[in-house]
């Protein structure tokens, strides 16, 4: 079987800080799931992060520097091309989705966004 | 027979949708400006609300009403909105109902909105309180899926301001006026006159405006401690700054001023049916000739205008020199809000 893959294209860009943090908090069979949920937050759509161990049908897997991020098919359409980062500050330690090309507006704290409705 | 004891308005310009499903409280809480969680656990039956865009501008105004047999474990709400905004609001709700168990159905062919108001008495109960009629005729027909939600009627004191009387959502043509009761049946245009004379904005003219400028912070519409919702950042910023520089006032074009001083607002009889000035969008000037505001809704010889810096005089003029009598609405108590006019 021949499988085509690209090293230059990824659905998400993952920063080194983010990859390091995921590796630190996930056990061997675990991964971080990113989910977009509607009707919440100042922008109307909110990013959610979970640690899980079970894959579902139609999940997209993004691997970077040994860290594994899983996104479902509905959510990937809303975050494709974004950068996933981890910020460690005195006030908070938090995973964030930045520079989302699908977002029309992002709320001040960065946890929610308003998509470009077509 | 008593004259003008009250009016029954059939509001043909309103549209009713029902929103139900186990996630509908959560979804509405994330979208509207008022606190649904608090509303659900309160005895209130109707709640005024706005739906904003992410920049905090008004997309749509709606009154959210508990269905007649409301239960919080399987909630259903009527969304009472202007007929021209109904499809916009439903599209807005459906766009955001991503991963949510929420269903929306249009009930325009089945249900109607009525209002009752009286120039001589106002309801004793607070805004939003449920009201009951002495008796009602045949119960509404039961639709298989929606039957539980639609059975009966829902009547409540207008959640914005009790001077607007009560509001009823029921099956079409269910309400009858007893003979010799002194109650007169009127249409939605007449209700619009009453609403404008009371200084309460609603419907398409308020689209893309900032809620506080239209006095919505004084009309039980915005909750500042409910958490995040679409457009909340602008609401919070205006609130914490503590200053609303622009406010909305009603105006009247008239030559006869007798009888106005003691009234809560000029009576509906002051509306000149023959007048057709079309002042919507016209700018207004003060006695120094400075442009201080704009008319955003006008009908016949009355309307609503926004004035920057608050009401400083009672007579303003349009740029083409029409005299406007402007007053502060009776209910407008700015101390009830933490935001004041600078």
What tens digit of pLDDT does each residue of B201-217 get? Answer: 999 999 999 999 999 99
Residue B66's domain comprises 6-206
Of B182, B206, B230, the last residue of a domain is B206
Q: What values do phi and psi take at B106, rounded to 5?
A: -90, 135
* pLDDT surpassing 70 at residue B182: yes
Average pLDDT over residues A86-100: 92
Q: What are the sequence ranges of the domains in chain A? A: 13-115
Q: Min CA distance, B32 vs chain A (Å)?
A: 10
Q: How confident is the model at residue B267 (pLDDT cuts 50, 70, 90)?
A: confident
Same domain, B41 and B135: yes
Residue in chain A nearest B93 by alpha carbon? A39
| A32-A37-A41 Cα angle (round to 5) | 110
Same domain, B198 and B246: no
**Is residue B160 classed exposed, middle or buried when 0-12, 13-18 and 19+ CB atoms within 10 A define those classes?**
buried
* Contact assignment for A40 to B228 by CB distance below 8 Å: yes
Q: How many domains does chain B have?
A: 2
- Domain A13-115 carries which CATH code? 2.60.300.12
Same domain, B11 and B152: yes
Same domain, B180 and B290: no
Percent of chain A with pLDDT over 70: 92
Q: Min CA distance, A58 vs chain B (Å)?
A: 16
Whether B218 is covered by a domain: the verdict is no
Using a CB-CB cut-off of 8 Å, the residues of chain B touching A114 are 54, 230
Interface membership of A37 toward B (CB under 8 Å):
yes
Same domain, B261 and B136: no
Same domain, B120 and B165: yes
Same domain, B68 and B179: yes
Average pLDDT over residues B32-41: 94
Q: pLDDT value at position B335?
A: 52
**Is residue B342 classed exposed, middle or buried when 0-12, 13-18 and 19+ CB atoms within 10 A define those classes?**
exposed
H or E element: which one contains A16? helix A16-25
Average pLDDT over residues A103-113: 88
Same domain, B172 and B65: yes
Q: pLDDT value at position B341?
A: 41
Average pLDDT over residues B112-133: 86
Average pLDDT over residues B258-282: 77
ipTM for this model: 0.80
Residue in chain A nearest B31 by alpha carbon? A39
* Contact assignment for B232 to A104 by CB distance below 8 Å: no
Find the CATH number of the domain harbouring B53. Answer: 3.30.1360.120
Q: pLDDT value at position B144?
A: 59
Residue in chain B nearest A106 by alpha carbon? B54
Segment among B67-81, B122-136, B231-245 with least mean pLDDT: B122-136
Same domain, B43 and B111: yes
**Mutation target vs A (from B28, B54, B93; most A CBs, 10 A cutoff):** B54
Same domain, B151 and B247: no
Distances (CA, A) of B63 to A104, B51, B258, B280, B288: 28, 11, 36, 25, 40
Q: What values do phi and psi take at A23, rounded to 5?
A: -65, -35
Whether B104 is covered by a domain: the verdict is yes
* pLDDT surpassing 90 at residue B265: no
* Contact assignment for A43 to B229 by CB distance below 8 Å: no
Q: Which residue has the higher pLDDT, B200 or A109?
A: B200
Q: pLDDT value at position B306?
A: 94
Chain A and chain B share a number of CB contacts under 8 A equal to: 54
Same domain, B77 and B130: yes
Q: How confident is the model at residue A17 (pLDDT cuts 50, 70, 90)?
A: very high
Q: Min CA distance, B92 vs chain A (Å)?
A: 10
Interface membership of A43 toward B (CB under 8 Å):
yes
Of B206, B226, B252, the last residue of a domain is B206
Q: pLDDT value at position B277?
A: 83
Same domain, B110 and B32: yes
């Amino acid at each position: 079987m021949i499988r085509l893959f690209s090293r230059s294209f990824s659905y998400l860009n993952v920063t080194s800080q983010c990859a390091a943090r995921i590796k630190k908090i996930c056990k061997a069979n675990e991964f971080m799931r990113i989910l977009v949920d509607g009707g919440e937050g100042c922008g109307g759509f909110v990013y959610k992060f979970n640690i899980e161990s079970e894959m579902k049908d139609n999940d997209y897997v993004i691997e970077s520097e040994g860290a594994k991020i899983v996104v479902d098919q509905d959510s990937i359409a809303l975050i494709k091309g974004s950068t996933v980062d981890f910020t460690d500050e005195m006030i908070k330690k938090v995973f964030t989705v930045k520079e989302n090309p699908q977002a029309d507006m992002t709320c001040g704290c960065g946890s929610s966004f308003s998509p470009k409705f077509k | 027979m008593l004259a003008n004891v009250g009016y029954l308005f059939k509001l043909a310009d309103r549209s009713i949708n029902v929103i139900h499903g186990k996630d509908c409280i959560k979804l509405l809480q994330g979208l509207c400006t008022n606190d649904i969680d608090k509303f659900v656990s309160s005895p209130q039956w109707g709640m005024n609300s706005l739906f904003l865009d992410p920049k905090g501008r008004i997309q749509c105004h709606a009154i959210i009403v508990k269905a007649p047999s409301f239960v919080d474990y399987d909630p259903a709400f009527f969304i009472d909105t202007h007929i021209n905004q109904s499809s916009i609001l439903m599209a807005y709700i459906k766009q955001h109902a991503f991963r949510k168990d929420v269903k929306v159905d249009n009930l325009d062919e089945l249900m109607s909105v009525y209002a009752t108001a009286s120039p001589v008495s106002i309801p004793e109960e607070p805004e939003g309180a449920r009201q009951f009629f002495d008796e009602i005729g045949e119960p509404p027909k039961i639709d298989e899926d929606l039957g539980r939600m639609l059975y009966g009627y829902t009547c409540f004191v207008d959640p914005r301001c009790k001077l607007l009387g009560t509001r009823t959502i029921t099956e079409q043509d269910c309400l009858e006026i007893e003979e010799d009761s002194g109650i007169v049946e009127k249409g939605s245009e007449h209700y619009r006159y009453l609403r404008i004379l009371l200084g309460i904005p609603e419907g398409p003219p308020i689209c893309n405006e900032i809620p506080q400028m239209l006095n919505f912070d004084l009309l039980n519409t915005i909750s500042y401690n409910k958490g995040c919702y679409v457009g909340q950042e602008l609401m919070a910023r205006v609130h914490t700054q503590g200053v609303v520089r622009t406010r909305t006032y009603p105006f009247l074009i008239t030559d006869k001023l007798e009888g106005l001083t003691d009234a809560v607002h000029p009576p509906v009889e002051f509306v000149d049916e023959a007048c057709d000035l079309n002042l919507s969008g016209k700018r207004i000037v003060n006695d120094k000739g400075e442009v201080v505001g704009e008319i955003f809704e006008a009908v016949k010889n009355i309307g609503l205008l926004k004035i920057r810096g608050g009401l400083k005089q009672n007579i303003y003029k349009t740029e083409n020199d029409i005299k406007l009598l402007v007053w502060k609405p009776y209910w407008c108590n700015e101390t009830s809000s933490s935001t004041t006019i600078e």
